[in-house]
Amino acid sequence: MEEKFMPAPKNQPKGKLHSCLTIDVEDWFHILDSPAVPGIERWPSLESRIQKNLEELLALLDSFSVKVTFFWLGWLAERHKDLVFMCRDAGHEIASHGYAHILAYKVGPNAFRDDITLAKDILENTIGDQVRGFRAPGFGITKKAPWAFDVIKESGYQYDSSVFPASRGHGGIADSPLGPYFIETRSGHLLEIPMSIVKIFGHRTSLFGGGYLRLANKLMIKWGIGKLRTAGRPLIVYVHPREIDPAQPHLPLSLLRQFKCYVNLNSTLPKLKWLCKNYALFTMLEMVENYIRSFYLESRMIPVIHPQNMQASGKLSPESEERTYPADPETFRSRLLLVERAMADFLGRPSPAFPPDTEHSGIEADSNSNIIQQLPITSKKQDSEIPNVVANTAHL
């Protein structure tokens, strides 16, 4: 018998599953890093299958009353504004996938900034609302491009979902933290929501998106979701519209890339239906707000990472962040306040799924909360224990 899960409560306690479904809106020819892929100058002349596939996905989501996040490619959004409207009017979150489907580490800071700013402008002008989230094509933010986080924040995004915390073809930061964390950029804290990863025989792998989702059977996926639940990490599912379309044209890719791009396309839609039926899936923004709220309720702080330390040490981990905090308690208090403000920022605009619950959380939705007061720093003994606030988050 299939396991059934009730919709998640407003404030999920530790151990409950925070989950979201995300769709990277690309067409069949938006495949990366192959000479067989047509350049952007040829895209207008190619058959588009995005309307058929997106309408089918929207119908599926509507049948289960599930709201998700659509990471729109700007090039597609400016040509299919009606589809962007359909997603928005159905209550889904509109986020950015950049404009021209480029790899950040290949094009450099200036071209990357131009690309993601253009995409944000197109989407915001289309929907008449702020676009808060970004995901890089191919999860193409790597240790070769730590500058990308500064660019994303400077471009006006509040959260990023570009880090794949394992080795993969186009990107991946194999020693990244496995749960959400803040990245301290020049312009403030950027919330990073990495892809969901589990360990199989000590090896980090995904079961929850793209070819990984298509290759894994339901028992494996269910096992992986259980591991995420036990660890207190979110479930983030990601798919592309072309992955529900076995009849799409096939590019003359290498045999390995053909396998990755086209294997088990018939399995995507049934797995999405199974996930929507058995798990409470939300938009990424709603999931993030709920996740941060759970930290408030438990008086915990989300880890903070410094990209410059990644360059110096070759590691991106909560442990390196613990070492970078100053011993001086007042300076440390200031750092905690900055993180607390970044957390409160996500609760500043009420979410339809998770409205503010100030009676239980003690948090004003339109002001800074009192989490620093809940972590008193007064005596010398307490001063000496301040670094433990960060150390206790290392398992995230």
Chain segment 241-291, per-residue pLDDT in tens: 999 999 999 999 999 999 999 999 999 999 999 999 999 999 999 999 889
Identity at 229, one-letter amino acid code:
R
Distance CA 150, CA 306 (A): 11
* 134 found inside a domain: yes
pLDDT tens digits along 45-94: 999 999 999 999 999 999 999 999 999 999 999 999 999 999 999 999 99
Distance CA 392, CA 396 (A): 9
* 391 found inside a domain: no
* 117 found inside a domain: yes
Q: How confident is the model at residue 344 (pLDDT cuts 50, 70, 90)?
A: confident
* 367 found inside a domain: no
* 248 found inside a domain: yes
* Residue 362: closest CA among 347, 346, 381: 347
Close Cβ partners of 44 (under 8 Å, ≥ 6 residues apart): none
pLDDT value at position 188? 87
List the domain range (segments joined by +) for residue 242: 19-288
The 10 Å CB-count burial string (b at 16+, else e) for 42-60 is ebeeeeebbeebbeebbee
CATH number at residue 274: 3.20.20.370
pLDDT tens digits along 96-142: 999 999 999 999 999 999 999 999 999 999 999 999 999 999 999 98
* 174 found inside a domain: yes
Q: How confident is the model at residue 211 (pLDDT cuts 50, 70, 90)?
A: very high
Per the structure, the count of domains in the chain is: 1
* Residue 305: closest CA among 335, 327, 331, 270: 335
* 353 found inside a domain: no
Helix (H) or strand (E) run with residue 315 in it = none
* 322 found inside a domain: no
